[in-house]
Amino acid sequence: ETGVTQSPTHLIKTRGQQVTLRCSSQSGHNTVSWYQQALGQGPQFIFQYYREEENGRGNFPPRFSGLQFPNYSSELNVNALELDDSALYLCASSLEWKGVSSYNEQFFGPGTRLTVL
Amino acid sequence: SQQGEEDPQALSIQEGENATMNCSYKTSINNLQWYRQNSGRGLVHLILIRSNEREKHSGRLRVTLDTSKKSSSLLITASRAADTASYFCATDGGGLLMIKAAGNKLTFGGGTRVLVKP
């Protein structure tokens, strides 16, 4: 158990709909990153939030957006769902990064499995 | 896009045997990590090796890193049925691009699916 929780566990949507996925970070962690993992592939970085601001984004369109709240929980929102958005969505929380030579372990939640029909 | 390529894509061994998997990456890195994932669920951090390290051990795990070849290997010794999972390498070299970052962006390989037969 990493202390990172995600909800819901599974979700089924249809094309064109909107979805909100939620993540509760490990206590004291002020950074959350979101990853998309398509079936049979490795996770791909969507974006990261630090102190409620987006801080780094991967190769994902603007219809993928996020929020981080003062209690460091966060949301991933996806608008105008497409079939290719079907994937496991993982969030990971970590402590504040203090420079290139440092590393803070990212703790992953169990993921939300999104199916778009 | 995936940073790393993992080899093999799938591996089937008997309990007690060793399992070796390799990871290659493309750009310079700060650290390289290995993760395990059971049945498409969350990722479990196994071991981290820094760019200035060449080998690291943790229990039955041994990781090597060759920055000149941009490659790493993960060895699991005396495998158990419970080791059945997908294994991913992940690099973080994005720190320089994320000045305000708190926690580095991870770039994952495609994974190796390991089946340990009892």
pLDDT bin (cut points 50, 70, 90) of residue A99 is low
The predicted-structure confidence for A24-52, as pLDDT tens digits, reads as follows 998 888 889 999 999 999 999 999 998 88
Chain B residues in contact with A37 (beta carbon < 8 A): 40
Contact call for A45 and B105, based on CB within 8 A: yes
Chain A residues in contact with B90 (beta carbon < 8 A): 42
Chain B residues in contact with A90 (beta carbon < 8 A): 42-43
Q: Looking at residue B99, what is its pLDDT?
A: 41
Q: Is the pLDDT of residue A5 over 50?
A: yes
DSSP, collapsed to helix, strand or coil, labels residue A10 as: strand
Q: Which of A3, A11, A38, A1 is nearest to A112 (CA)?
A: A11
Interface probe for B, chosen from A36, A37, A95, A106 (most Cβ of B below 10 Å), is A106
The CB density around residue A80, as the number of other CB atoms within 10 Å, is 11
Averaged confidence pLDDT in chain B: 87
Q: Looking at residue A76, what is its pLDDT?
A: 98
The DSSP bridge pattern shows strands A112-116 and A10-13 to be parallel
Residue range B67-86: average pLDDT? Answer: 96
